Structure 1
């Protein structure tokens, strides 16, 4: 199976199934000299992990990360960083009815049709549990970007027909972690939670969307056509399980604007550089970053695992049957999807910054020299 690696220079390769022994990934291309600990990664994993609130799955996974390679004495060495997250609460027995009878709108049949087999416990490799690896890798990318003054924040801006409009970057930072929905508008967050709970009581689920903003990314990231910044961001976001749409800037609303309304004039900044007036383009023009904040939105459909009765067929017996997907599933995805979207933003941007030479691919700036025996951890004086 291909398709398990993301990135060109900052490259992430993941492994693991939902109900297997463990999840994990390797991160290649992280410069040497980045101060890194498991605690730096665990914070984002805790934001993604199950069992956080009544509107998430009750699966009891601590999602504790263990760094196995690529870090020595608290600093990255420039070699691949290996990470493992153990699965602690798998209950595969609940999935036995679906070995030959695919759950509606899941990857059960398509995986089986393509490979002739599949890991059916918890959805195996197709499960959104696999995104735990993305968040672990993204936490490292975030730390690299933070050293370059790049900040990334996302929040839930819509659940069903309840929408939070006009939430600033500062509002996301200040309020999105204060509520279970992860919405930057506390009042709207309460409405969203009430809506989620109504669907949950009915044995159903509901979709929504996540809004993100990237600040501090330099101009010049991306290349024309197939390697454009929105093309790569689109690939990253459309890889997130349950994603049905990705937009940047005005997104689909751009169709409602005349050219004279959407076009942005140019003016000189205080430093004498040309800058666009406004940011309806979402920080991207011609597929390349302008230096303005990069903004976008990711739409996620309602979770497909619901206890309502649905119809399927058994491809071995040829029978049609009524089924219920009984288990521990989220009634809504965006609240736990926020750190996943942030991670994919970070992995995309750090890769472009390395490609553009904005980050030294070998070592972080400010790290002591290779033969500085006053510091170097492998020198005889420091063993």
Structure 2
């Protein structure tokens, strides 16, 4: 999940550094916004080094004068966490003020917002602070109340910020409450399969695995328990996901079949080889001095999508991909009818698709007209596919 952490000017800001580290360990992308007062306790250099992202602390620097960074960050954000939240900052956002980078960015953010207050006990109990808390709760903010503990003033009272591990556990709990695929098991295949010719050579394809991995990340972020069965990929594998390496079509089929019975959905984004060598040499096939040709006998691989389509239950969802170089809709429609899939994601791979960051796809499903999606990033395509999956699972639940 994409989380923006807001640091405000309380002494507990040093604890927020550990909160950020732990959120990263939970596989979240984290960016930081700071108030000027927060920088008296923690430097922007430290947080930029930690997140590998620039820290937004000023709307008027030369670096940002030709852009609108607070709006870009607000749109990027999937969850906003204000930690620590001072009484002053809570008063500002409760009244809709936007007079610095932090308050302006937060006001532009439509994502869910979590607040972790930290202050002196007298400030916490002040009627003005309690009134602001009531307003914030009414506006949809979630509040993690401070604990009783030793304050900066040297005595114990309510106002101390909870420890970082407690904060992260609370944030994770809030995230999971809102995750629509919580409790669902999703299998996703990715990458190209490899069919050996000898110990050195193989038959393969140009798939990078980007799309399948993007879908796996989107399903994970939506709360699903994800199993990624992957072949040959050229990009980094995601974290927080059950990973099964399966280079050949047969091994991929066996891995998927083993997992499928207990799963809610399978998304076959892998580029599975249609053919394999009938006989695999046990040592490298060296060319002979007078040899001009090499003849290979190929046999058909198992059609994983079609085979799984024959055994899937009515309560399971099956999504396949059709990578075509010609007659896109005609071929994809035939695949939808033949394979037993609920959806086919069709794309023209004749140019600039394999290994690229963007794609343009057409979604085909039974009893519906094809949906032509605009060209977008593969991550955006992945998010929309997960949205389609979620709607289908909801419709199936209503039918049952």
So what's the TM-score if we normalise by structure 1?
0.23
In our comparison, the structure showing a higher alpha carbon Rg is: 2
Higher normalized helix content (fraction of residues): 2
Larger relative contact order, structure 1 or 2 (CA cutoff 8 Å, min sep 6): 1
